[in-house]
Amino acid sequence: PPCFQPSTEFIDEMPPQWPWLQPAAAAAAARRATPFVLRGRRCSSSVPASVCASAPSGHAREQEDEQSLVVVGGGAAGVYASIRAKTLAPHLNVVVIEKGKFLSKVKISGGGRCNVTNGHHLEPSGLARNYPRGYKELRGSFFRTHGPQDTMHWFSDHGVELKTEEDGRVFPVTDNSASVVDCLLNEARRLGVSLQAGKSVSGASVDANGKFVVKVEKRTIDFVDYISANYVLVATGSSQQGYSFAAQHGHSIIPPVPSLFTFKIADKRLADLSGVSFTRVTAKLMLDGIQKSAPELTQTGPMLVTHWGLSGPVVLRLSAWGARELYQDKYQAKLVVDFIPDIHIEDVKRILFQHKDQHAKNKVNNAFPKEFGLVKRFWGFLLEQESLDGDMHWATVPKSHLNAMALRLKQWMFEVVGKGQFKDEFVTAGGVPLSEISLSTMESKKQPNLFFAGEVLNVDGVTGGFNFQNAWTGGYIAGTSIGTLASKSILKEEQACLQLQGS
């Protein structure tokens, strides 16, 4: 049985017309769709009309069938796939149905700059380690077929100059996502892809010839249309409708939960530190019921204090690796932070004792060890935690307090009490299991000619451009498979026509 359980928290609406965890209702809807299967038949442009015209009428109808692809979802994966398929098979009718605006996430991503990919992890197995869901499966051919370098080449070949920042994130040199959006949409249009916005796909049935009958609706007005298609690509991101579509065709859905979020911390005094950042901490996430912590639940890198908790790359990576367990534990956990990961605790103590001797006459608030690389606000906070008055002199600080400070700096325990929002990036863990599709083609193992790409799959990456890379790679592979199938099919069609002509 499908393991899908709708989350009440963040998934968008369940389409009332396909309440499709109830198979009887779905079947009835599919029956309603079937009579529309003969829509859109024209003679294929690559088969000479005279050849087809000479064929017996029954055959001719089959041969005259245009090959068509419906892409559900005009995000990164859907648009990239449509371009690839249409490039390989120019005769293929490609329509992308988008319920909102095309490439809306690309537009807002990276704070409006679009973090297209990551330039520091070019080798597939190293790259795959950045995907809490997918790290095993994506190690092989997936990124080898179309990795970050291919993505960067693609964009620069299509006029979008890119730059790689120090931390590996790749952005357009314009620092404006509009250049990425325009490039993709212009290329799709140039190739003749039909881009239809403001329409939503609510399901599809498969007719007796194995063709899809895709149900398209408009929300605003009473509009229902049915499109006949040889191939369907589901690239619906984290939309509920995409999961429903997948389940309708026999897929199970791993329950979607949020990933890439900040931590709400119980300590209200932390708010005083809002805006303080640390270039390098090591943080360990301690989850209930997990005795031996996975290595990924310890992360090192920059961290930021917000007015209600902790954020920054370290926290986001932990939120991704612990996404499912945190969800189960209602976002209650412990976070142990080492603020000076490069100095051993015994050395921290030694530095503090030395400092006490060398700065005996100085106030503790004004002079503190530079080796720790801490900012004054944080040092003041630390003194407060130890109930030390900032005006006291170093000479009067008891050694026991120095030991306690060293311990706190190396193993500060915070109570995580909830999930915050992270506006720059947010993804969904869960979706169609990778075991149910072929990663070399992105085709469903349940339904021939049905393909998936992007976030609809149970793949998500940490922050840094990895999520878009999954969308580009999946879209590219799906587009290649569909384009190749469509080309082979037209070749067969032409051969059949020529045979008929000869007979």
Residues that bind ligand FAD (CB under 6 A): 72-78, 97-100, 104-105, 108-110, 115, 200-201, 235-237, 239, 241-242, 424-427, 454-455, 465-468, 471
Give the residue with the Cβ less far from ligand FAD, 201 or 434: 201
**Distance in angstroms (rounded) separating the CA atoms of residues 311 and 325:** 19
**Distance in angstroms (rounded) separating the CA atoms of residues 384 and 205:** 66
Give the residue with the Cβ less far from ligand FAD, 52 or 235: 235
Give the residue with the Cβ less far from ligand FAD, 64 or 187: 187
- Measured in whole angstroms, how far is the alpha carbon of residue 91 from the centre of its chain? 31
Supply the minimum distance, in Å, between the C-beta of residue 61 and ligand FAD: 30
Token pair of 179 as six digits: 């250049």
Supply the minimum distance, in Å, between the C-beta of residue 216 and ligand FAD: 8
**Distance in angstroms (rounded) separating the CA atoms of residues 455 and 428:** 7
- Pairing label, strands 254-259, 231-234: unpaired
For the beta carbon of residue 268, count every other beta carbon within 10 angstroms. 9
CB distance 136 to 207 below 8 Å: no
Token pair of 466 as six digits: 């990895």
**Distance in angstroms (rounded) separating the CA atoms of residues 475 and 454:** 7
Length of the chain: 503
* Position 242, amino acid: G
**Distance in angstroms (rounded) separating the CA atoms of residues 383 and 405:** 8
Residue 97: C-alpha distances to residues 36, 216, 235 (Å): 18, 8, 10
Supply the minimum distance, in Å, between the C-beta of residue 167 and ligand FAD: 12
CB distance 254 to 458 below 8 Å: yes
Give the residue with the Cβ less far from ligand FAD, 98 or 338: 98
**Distance in angstroms (rounded) separating the CA atoms of residues 69 and 480:** 12
What's the half-sphere exposure (Cβ side, CA atoms, 13 Å) at 276? Answer: 18
Supply the minimum distance, in Å, between the C-beta of residue 239 and ligand FAD: 3
For the beta carbon of residue 113, count every other beta carbon within 10 angstroms. 18
Token pair of 465 as six digits: 């451009």
Give the residue with the Cβ less far from ligand FAD, 333 or 427: 427
Supply the minimum distance, in Å, between the C-beta of residue 503 and ligand FAD: 45
Instruction: At 389, give phi and psi (nearest 5°).
Output: -75, 130
* Position 409, amino acid: L
Supply the minimum distance, in Å, between the C-beta of residue 272 and ligand FAD: 28
Give the residue with the Cβ less far from ligand FAD, 272 or 424: 424
Give the residue with the Cβ less far from ligand FAD, 368 or 451: 451
**Distance in angstroms (rounded) separating the CA atoms of residues 223 and 215:** 10
